[in-house]
Amino acid sequence: MKNQAIQYLALDVHQATTVGTLRNQSGAICMRTTVPTEAKAIVRLVKAAGPRVHVAFEEGTHAQWLHDLLTPHAERVLVCDIRGRRSETTSKSDRIDADWLSEQLRLGAVRVVHHGTPGVAVLKELVRCYTNLVEDSTRVMQRVKAIYRGRAIAASGKTVYRPSQPQRRAASGSPHRSE
């Protein structure tokens, strides 16, 4: 398997379609295609390139999903950062972008962005959710205190959030209690 030539597949990924360019080791373009941005179609494309295929695509909204999807099917999967590259051509299209990226992949000239294992992505999502929950609960607690302060009720510490506290205040006589 290691004696077989490496194929270089570059993908220009968009929401609906993905444009691919496949090059051989000598740099000749073997295939250009457009497939739907769906797991089955993209995996089929990678498998059609052969067992020794290196795949590259740009960092974007689909990058982590695509990295996790293709890692078991390709010898190497690279997510690239192409910011700051000078445009070699005046015209721009998905096919031109895929052609350029496949050549850069073949030459080893792509700037790689790290994409960890799927477990890291899950951990990042859990941390994001936890952070959002803490921020939301803090915001709600501050709103509750603001309501009590607006009624001239002492609202210090965390006692204001205990269910028994509002009844005790009402029973002891607050400044806003009507008589």
Domain residue spans of the chain:
7-116, 120-172
Burial classification of residue 91, based on how many CB atoms lie within 10 Å of its CB (0-12 exposed, 13-18 middle, 19 or more buried)? exposed
* Nearest-angstrom CA–CA distance, 28 and 64: 29
Q: Which two tokens stand for residue 26?
A: 């000598």
Q: Which two tokens stand for residue 132?
A: 């959002």
* Nearest-angstrom CA–CA distance, 66 and 41: 12
* Nearest-angstrom CA–CA distance, 157 and 136: 18
Q: What angle do CA 122, 127, 130 make, to 5 degrees?
A: 125
Q: What angle do CA 127, 132, 138 make, to 5 degrees?
A: 125
Q: Quote the pLDDT of residue 114.
A: 74
Q: Quote the pLDDT of residue 40.
A: 97
Threshold 0.75, pTM exceeds: no
CB atoms within 10 A of CB 8: 26
**Percent of the chain having pLDDT more than 70?**
75
For domain 7-116, the CATH architecture is: 2-Layer Sandwich (3.30)
- Weakly modelled stretches of the chain, pLDDT under 70: 1-2, 84-91, 115-119, 121, 152-179
Q: Please say whether the beta carbons of 77 and 55 come within 8 A.
A: yes
Q: Quote the pLDDT of residue 126.
A: 85
* Nearest-angstrom CA–CA distance, 68 and 115: 9
Q: Please say whether the beta carbons of 41 and 26 come within 8 A.
A: no
Which residue, 6, 108, 14, 122, is CA-closest to 58? 14
* Nearest-angstrom CA–CA distance, 56 and 5: 17
| DSSP code at position 152 | T
